[in-house]
Amino acid sequence: MPKPLRIVAAILYLAVGACAQAPVSVTATPQAADQPASPAHCDATNVTAAVGRLPSVEVVEAARKDAGAEVVRTLRPGQAITREFRIGRLNLVLDAEGRIASAHCS
């Protein structure tokens, strides 16, 4: 093999090797018996009192507490939103007038 070709082969070998990821070992930690299985679960069925109201700080906080959610966000029509699932998040969907039209958890 000619020397320039060996140099190119060595560079490619090193470049590919640098991109390789080392295997990661994941170990599960045992959960204590007195700890809950997961964070707060959201239940939007308890939020019917907020539907039709303007999303004031008090209304939003009451809805969050009623749902048992950790966090709450309001979603306006046409607003870009993230699609990740969060078990303890309450979503308050607003209508065109800015009132709470529906609620769901994600």
pLDDT of residue 51: 96
Mean pLDDT of 25-49: 61
- What's the rounded mean pLDDT across residues 82-104? 92
Run of H or E residues at 14: helix 3-19
Is residue 42 predicted with pLDDT exceeding 50?
Answer: yes
Taking the model in full, what pTM does it have?
0.61
Which residues, other chains included, contact 66 with Cβ-Cβ below 8 Å and sequence gap of 6+? 46, 47, 49, 50
Looking at the chain, the whole-number percentage of residues with pLDDT higher than 70 is 69
Alpha-carbon gap, residue 17 to 71, rounded angstroms: 43
